[in-house]
Amino acid sequence: MDESFYTGKAIMDIGCGPRGSLEWANMTTERIGLDPLAEKYLKMGASKHKMTYVKAYVEDIPFDDNHFDVICSFNSLDHVKNIEESCKEIKRVLKPGGLFLLVVDIHKYPTFTEPQCLNWSFLQDHFSDFHVLEEKHLENAVKRRIYSNHRTNKELAKGSTENGVLIAKIQKLD
């Protein structure tokens, strides 16, 4: 998307991390990084970033209904405790006509840090009331060396289409 798309919009990055993920978005009216570790990030120097960090879980987003024009979630929804509540909250705070930009790992087995085992039907299962503008499945991601087990450094399910990355741009209907 062109930067002009974001002009005058309120945006939120779910699971933003400590690196100032929205610093580029100086054309927006509001830049929120939502992360349960936000206070730690501020102690690490994130306060110098040109965005607001909010300590919260996505299952309980501390903003009013229909607040954001754009919500991003890049590699964070498989880390949540309750995927149903997380999706409900995203829907609640996103304005009608607003965009949800998603990149999420698809994997069959839970880990300590990624307790959600999401599959390729994620959008249909949780966002069937949204309009899918773009959807990409990067299946067989192992062959492209996108995936490996961080503890053993071994590839996961070699050649399996059960693992991969789902990329989507979806729009909340009015």
Sequence ranges of the domains in the chain: 3-172
Three-state SS at 82: coil
The architecture (CATH level 2) of 3-172 comes to 3-Layer(aba) Sandwich (3.40)
Confidence (pLDDT) at 141: 57
The upper half-sphere exposure of residue 71, i.e. CA atoms within 13 Å in the direction of its Cβ, equals: 28
How many residues appear in the chain? 174
Compute φ and ψ for 59, nearest 5 degrees. Answer: -70, -15
Residue 159 and residue 141: Cα distance in Å, rounded? 8
- Angle, alpha carbons 89-91-93 (nearest 5°): 70
Would you say the pTM of this structure is higher than 0.75?
yes
Q: Which of 58, 57, 34, 56 is nearest to 46 (CA)?
A: 34
Percent of the chain with pLDDT strictly greater than 90: 61
Residue 78 and residue 21: Cα distance in Å, rounded? 19
Reduced DSSP (H G I as helix, E B as strand, rest coil) percent helix, strand, coil of the chain, to 5: 20, 30, 50
pLDDT per residue over 70-110, tens digit each? 999 999 999 999 999 999 999 999 999 999 999 999 887 88
Confidence (pLDDT) at 19: 86
Confidence (pLDDT) at 115: 87
The stretches in the chain having pLDDT less than 70 are 140-161
